[in-house]
Each structure stands twice: as structure tokens, then as C-alpha cells.
């Protein structure tokens, strides 16, 4: 173990879970890596402040998201284990999916093979069909909300914009989703069928998997919406005839004639090498605990114990590093090619932690962005170039060995492609402090120095 008199190892516990580092951060929530104290099972904990939920009037939305994730239990959907609460926070305990986003696969490989694309698409359709059977419509299907487990199986996540149909009203009326993946009828503000809208998004995802780029992409939203409404797109020449025909039937701007999931499952191209998921008998779902989390804080009390570190950056242990590398090979952490940038990225430096922070602050300010620093964590913000929304990045410094620091960079808000460009530009300007090891990854001496 690393011994540092100026630093204390941070320990924190939420119920029966030992909490580790932040692995994701958004406007209203943080996601923490954690392990079950008794079983050692890895989980992800979504942490939300009750004050924030109340301030933004999100109580019903959060209740809905939690309830939906309890209802839609399926091998290709991220599983919700349980919900806990303290006096100030709500904790959603989720299955930890270590394979990263499907989006990362597309960025890394540019485009996927026909067989890979088909397998992911088949698993996506299975998951979406199960949701629809339960009366749940996702409404924000895109590669960034599709995760991969350790075996390469797809897991649908992020049900924050999902809807449950109400009896007597089969149409949805809220315009939501990501513009490039949204169905044309969603933009019309006249009500839409949630199932048909999800199918459209699935068609766009299949196109992106096989092409490596979007079927509808324009610099300004009015032009983008016009192209989507007219279904103006062209399939690349390398698309097989079967896939091309299927995509054209799915990306039909008329929701009434658009292909339905039942028809997709009968399509010859889809059915080749298709192995449907065998589900257990439907589990009875009790949502009483969801209500209890919001209504009765004392009965659902969660003990939290933490020691605040004031002497320097947090120490990252070897186990946490392995979880970051998505396997036992640590080399991706220290030898990442600059032409492959993930949504979550990191670099290593041998400079002192304070020098790293001051260098990043100086570079960020030179790039014309707002910088907010606290201890060894930093948030960088600016308005996106397309003016659609805010762009934000979170950086945090960790000590992985004496005189060796890792800077973890995460997209907190905004477009992923814009984040890719920002990260490359940032690294180029920080070249003087970034340490790049040789062809060998992590030597045995360094491994022996890391915290276990």
C-alpha cells in the first residue's frame, strides 16, 4: 500500500455497499462504482440529491424511471437491484456493466461488421419488444444509452425519458429524445405512438452500426428536422441488400406503415443467426419500496461514513484501475492512441498534482471556457457550438503511484463528438505534462507500488 502522511484513505459506505470512485456525472446525478460488502458483487450506484429533485420538480420523473426499471427485467436491459435513501439523497443500485458504451465500439472500429451489427440489433429489438409488452416506451434510444457487458452482450440503459402508457390514451405528447435519432412524428407535436417512435430509433441505430455515421446529420436543427420528416437518407454501397431493405422499411416517415417489431422479427435478414432470449416466467413487481423511498426517509435510512481528504488527490487502487480498463490488461490506461477517444478518457502525468491542475486551468481558460476548481477536481463548461445545449467536462486527478498521477476526464453534458474534439485539443495543449510510456505498458515495479 502507498503510505502518505498527508493523505488518508477515503472510506464510504451506503447500506451494504462499499463505494468507490465516480464513474459518471450528469446535471442531476452522479454514478459511483461500488461493491457489495458480503458478496463482492460490483454495482453502479446512481446518486441524486433530494434537494435537487425537489428544486427541479423531478419527483414524479424519478419515481417513473425507478418504477420502469423494476418492471422491465430482461437480460438485455440494465438491471435495477434496489433503491435506498438517506435524509438528503436517493441511491439507485444498478447492475455494473463493465464493457462500456456501444458508441465506443463504433468510434473504435468506425463501422461494425454485418454480423456484429445484426447481433446487437437483434438484442436491441428483443429488449425493446419486452419494454413495449410491459407498456414502456424508451423514447431516447441511441448508441450512448446502449451498454455492453463483459461478454459483449447489449444492455439498454437510461430510462429517464421513458413513458408508461395510461389507460384510455395510447398516444404520447411529449417531444423528447436526441434529435438525430428521433422519429418525424415526435417533432409534429400532434401525439405519437411510442412503439413506432422507438422502432424508428432502432432503425437509425442499425444504420449507424453498419455505416459508422448518422443517416440524418445537419449543422442546423431546421434542416435536420426537414430531412428526418422526409426520410432523406442514402444507404452506403457496402450495405447488404437485406439490411438495406429492412432499414428503408423501418425508416418510413409514416408511423402507420412503418415496420413493426413483430414484422422485423419475421424479416429474413434479421432471422439469420437469430436466437431469441428465453425469459423466465414474469416476476411479480412490487413498487411499494419506491414510494417508501420518497415518503418515509427514516424507515429507509442509509448510513454514510466518509473521511474528507484535504492533503492531496485521492489514491486510486489497482482494483479500481482494472475496472476502468474493462479487463485485466492495464495497458489501455497508459498507452491510449489519440485517434481513439472514448466518452470517458484519461491520461497520465509525472508532474506534481498542483502543477497538473494549474496547467489544465491555464489551458482551459485559453480555450475560452469557464473553469470551476475544487481540491483536485475541476468542471469545465461552455455553450455548445450548435447552441442546442450546454457542454461540460469533469476532470479529476488520482494518485496511482508515488510521482505518478492519472487525470480522469468525463463528459458531463453535451454532444459526444464535440467532446472528442475538445479532448484531443486539450491533450495537444497539455503535451508538456502528459507522460507517454514506451511500447511496454505498466512495468512490474510500478504494479508493486500501487495500492491494493
| Domain boundaries of the chain, sorted by first residue | 13-96+286-300, 102-266, 314-449
Give percent above pLDDT 70 in the chain. Answer: 73
Residue 138 has pLDDT above 80, yes or no: yes
> Domain 102-266 falls in which CATH fold?
Transferase(Phosphotransferase); domain 1 (1.10.510)
* pLDDT > 70? residue 385: no
pLDDT of amino acid 4: 45
Using the predicted structure, report yes or no on whether residue 199 has a pLDDT greater than 90.
yes
DSSP strand pairing (390-401 vs 314-315): parallel
Catalytic residue from among 38, 104, 126, 140: 140
pLDDT of residue 249: 97
Mean pLDDT of the chain: 77
Contacts of 252 (CB under 8 A, 6+ apart): 231, 258, 259
CATH of 13-96+286-300, one of 3.30.200.20, 3.40.50.12160, 1.20.120.450, 3.40.190.10: 3.30.200.20
Copy the grid coordinates of residue 218. 445537419
Q: What's the confidence (pLDDT) of residue 162?
A: 53
Whether this prediction's pTM lies above 0.85 is answered by no
pLDDT at 109 over 50: yes
Banded model confidence at residue 173, pLDDT cuts 50, 70, 90: very low
Give mean pLDDT, residues 127-132.
92
Plot region of 414 (φ>0 → left; ψ -120 to 50 → alpha; else → beta)? left
Which whole number is the average pLDDT over 67-91?
Answer: 85
d(CA 157, CA 95): 10
pLDDT at residue 292 is higher than 70: no
pLDDT given at position 451 = 34
Give the pLDDT band (50/70/90) at residue 312. low
- What confidence category does residue 219 fall into, taking pLDDT thresholds of 50, 70 and 90? confident
Q: Of 24-33, 132-141, 410-419, 432-441, give the lowest mean pLDDT range.
A: 432-441
Provide mean pLDDT across the span 275-302: 62
Q: Does 134 score more than 80 pLDDT?
A: yes
> Is the model more confident about 385 or about 236?
236
pLDDT of residue 348: 87
What pLDDT shows up at residue 234?
93
Indicate the range of 87-96, 194-203, 317-326 predicted with least confidence. 317-326
pLDDT recorded at residue 192: 79
Q: Rounded to whole angstroms, how far apart are CA atoms 397 and 381?
A: 18
Closest CA to 379 of 178, 355, 390: 390
**How much is the pLDDT for 21?**
85
| Res. 333: pLDDT tops 60 | no
pLDDT (0 to 100) of residue 177: 56
Say how far apart CA 119 and CA 270 lie, in whole Å: 9
Cα end-to-end span (Å), the chain: 6
For residue 104, indicate whether it is catalytic.
Answer: no
The whole-number average pLDDT for the span 389-406 is 80
For residues 153 and 76, the answer to whether their CB atoms sit within 8 Å is: yes
Percent of the chain with pLDDT over 90: 23
Confidence category of residue 254, pLDDT binned at 50, 70, 90:
very high
User: Looking at domain 314-449, which of 3.40.50.300, 3.30.950.10, 3.30.310.80, 3.30.420.40 is its CATH number?
Assistant: 3.30.310.80
55 is in an annotated binding site: yes
Amino acid at each position: 500500500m502507498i503510505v502518505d502522511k498527508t493523505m488518508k484513505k477515503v472510506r464510504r459506505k451506503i447500506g451494504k455497499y462499499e463505494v468507490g470512485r465516480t464513474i459518471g456525472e450528469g446535471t442531476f446525478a452522479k454514478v459511483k462504482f461500488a461493491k457489495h460488502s458480503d458478496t463482492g458483487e460490483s454495482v453502479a450506484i446512481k446518486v441524486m440529491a433530494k434537494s435537487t429533485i425537489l428544486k427541479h420538480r423531478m419527483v414524479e420523473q424519478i419515481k417513473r424511471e425507478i418504477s420502469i426499471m423494476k418492471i422491465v427485467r430482461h437480460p438485455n436491459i440494465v438491471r435495477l437491484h434496489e433503491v435506498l435513501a438517506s435524509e438528503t439523497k436517493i441511491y439507485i443500485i444498478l447492475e455494473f456493466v463493465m464493457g462500456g458504451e456501444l458508441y465506443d465500439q463504433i468510434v473504435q472500429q468506425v463501422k461494425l461488421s454485418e454480423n456484429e451489427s445484426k447481433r446487437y440489433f437483434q438484442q436491441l429489438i428483443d429488449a425493446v419488444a419486452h419494454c413495449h409488452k410491459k407498456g414502456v416506451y424508451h423514447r431516447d434510444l441511441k448508441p450512448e444509452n446502449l451498454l455492453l457487458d463483459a461478454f459483449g452482450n447489449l444492455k439498454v440503459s437510461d430510462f429517464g425519458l421513458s413513458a408508461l402508457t395510461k389507460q384510455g390514451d395510447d398516444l404520447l405528447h411529449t417531444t423528447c429524445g436526441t434529435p438525430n435519432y428521433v422519429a418525424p412524428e415526435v417533432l409534429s407535436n400532434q401525439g405519437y405512438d411510442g412503439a413506432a417512435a422507438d422502432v424508428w430509433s432502432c432503425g437509425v441505430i442499425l444504420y449507424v452500426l453498419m455505416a459508422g455515421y448518422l443517416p440524418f446529420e445537419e449543422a442546423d436543427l431546421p434542416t435536420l428536422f426537414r430531412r428526418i420528416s422526409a426520410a432523406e437518407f442514402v444507404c452506403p454501397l457496402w450495405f447488404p441488400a437485406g439490411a438495406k431493405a429492412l432499414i428503408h422499411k423501418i425508416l418510413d416517415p409514416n408511423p402507420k406503415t412503418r415496420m413493426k417489431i413483430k414484422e422485423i422479427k419475421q424479416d429474413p435478414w434479421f432471422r439469420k443467426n437469430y436466437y431469441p432470449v428465453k425469459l423466465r416466467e414474469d416476476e411479480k413487481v412490487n413498487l411499494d419500496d419506491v414510494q417508501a423511498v420518497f415518503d418515509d426517509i427514516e424507515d429507509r435510512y442509509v448510513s454514510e461514513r466518509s473521511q474528507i481528504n484535504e492533503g492531496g488527490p485521492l489514491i486510486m487502487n489497482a482494483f479500481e484501475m482494472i475496472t476502468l480498463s474493462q479487463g485485466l490488461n492495464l495497458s489501455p490506461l497508459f498507452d491510449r492512441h489519440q485517434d481513439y477517444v472514448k466518452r470517458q478518457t484519461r491520461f497520465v502525468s509525472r508532474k506534481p498534482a498542483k502543477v497538473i491542475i494549474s496547467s489544465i486551468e491555464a489551458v482551459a481558460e485559453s480555450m475560452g471556457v469557464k473553469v470551476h476548481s475544487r481540491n483536485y477536481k475541476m468542471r469545465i463548461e461552455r455553450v455548445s457550438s450548435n447552441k442546442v445545449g450546454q457542454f461540460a467536462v469533469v476532470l479529476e486527478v488520482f494518485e496511482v503511484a508515488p510521482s505518478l498521477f492519472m487525470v480522469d476526464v468525463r463528459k458531463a453534458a453535451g454532444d459526444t463528438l464535440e467532446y472528442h474534439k475538445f479532448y484531443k485539443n486539450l491533450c495537444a495543449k497539455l503535451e508538456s505534462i502528459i507522460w507517454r510510456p514506451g511500447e511496454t505498458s505498466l512495468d512490474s515495479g510500478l504494479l508493486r507500488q500501487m495500492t491494493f
